Structure 1
Amino acid sequence: MPEQERGLSYREMACIAEELLEKTHEDEVLLAGEFAALPDDLRRDLLVSDFFNAYQTYFYYFKQSPGDLERERLILQPASALVQGVMITERELIEIVFRVEDDLPIMSVSDGDQVLVNYRGPDAYARALHFIDEAL
């Protein structure tokens, strides 16, 4: 079966990820540029893989750091956790959970029991923060 049909193996993806990290010296700006240059399917797979952390994926989508504490939280989580979601920040018992679905960043605002609102796209985090500020 041709490689395009079967996809890349774990080992092949690991080699690509290692090359990207070495080439960019793990600099998030350079890494985001490298992600953008990848074929769509490969980029989608890598952005939610164990080869990168959630912050590197966050930076690719939003092109800025969310803040020091939030950055540290994201660095400690593998990008693969973004399929389910990673809590990025919390204010007054309301939390923002970052996840990736269909190659789109989603910020879910939750009260801990239920999702109050979802925001998608490059301004999703700013809109989620604004929602919380307005609600408090």
Structure 2
Amino acid sequence: MTDYLELAKLADQILSVAEEDPEKLLGILDDLNPDIRKELINSDFLNAYQVFYYFFRTEPKEIIEDRLLLEPATSAFSEKGILIYEYDILEIFFKISGCTPEIYISDGDTIYKRLTGKDAYKEMLDYLDKGDFL
């Protein structure tokens, strides 16, 4: 495990070089030692948007981006995850389970769909477009 202060210094350097460009940040994270990358992703040195972009490698809808920017990365590792979108009566959450990104769709009582992996966000959009849950 990397010393907290060293990890903070590394995060500052990375974010300075990335200049708020998610593609630059993605390239830097991809080049890191996997253990250090995992520590950064599991820390609050990154925000949830940066972690979302790292896993899904796509820009989310603007309202989702706005919500993720306000959350620390560790929120995605909580049991429930982060509420990223509301669609009709449904709530869409983003979370990380272990090292796997997940999107799930719920009405608060029932989970209608649980999608995992790098294509989960795109699959969620397709699922909502089809309207199979209604």
AA paired with 2:132?
Answer: E
1:87 to 65, 83, 86: 83
SS in 2 for 1:134: coil
Q: Quote the offset at 1:62 in angstroms.
A: 1.4
CA contact (8 A) 1:48 1:81 kept: no
SS in 2 for 1:57: helix
Counterpart residue number, 1:3:
none
CA contact (8 A) 2:112 2:133 kept: no
- CA distance in 2: counterparts of 1:66 and 1:97, whole angstroms: 13
- CA distance in 1: counterparts of 2:42 and 2:124, whole angstroms: 21
Counterpart residue number, 1:135:
133
Q: Does 1:106 align with 2:102?
A: yes
TM-score, normalised with respect to structure 1: 0.88
CA contact (8 A) 1:94 1:111 kept: yes
- CA distance in 1: counterparts of 2:67 and 2:23, whole angstroms: 19
> Any gaps of 5 or more consecutive residues in structure 1?
1-6
RMSD: 1.3
Counterpart residue number, 2:51:
57
- CA distance in 2: counterparts of 1:107 and 1:66, whole angstroms: 12
> Any gaps of 5 or more consecutive residues in structure 2?
none
Q: Which moved more, 1:74-83 or 1:35-44?
A: 35-44
Identity of aligned residues (%): 35
Q: Which moved more, 1:102-111 or 1:50-59?
A: 102-111
Q: Does 1:41 align with 2:35?
A: yes
SS in 1 for 2:132: helix
AA paired with 2:34?
Answer: D
Could you list the structure 1 runs, at least 4 aligned residues long, displaced by more than 3 angstroms after superposition.
Answer: none
Query: What is the aligned length?
Result: 130
Q: Quote the offset at 1:127 in angstroms.
A: 1.4
- CA distance in 1: counterparts of 2:67 and 2:119, whole angstroms: 20
SS in 2 for 1:90: strand
For residues 33-69 of structure 1, what are the alpha-carbon distances to aligned partners after superposition, in whole Å with 9 as ceiling and x for unaligned?
1111111121112113111111111111111111111
1:96 to 84, 92, 96: 92
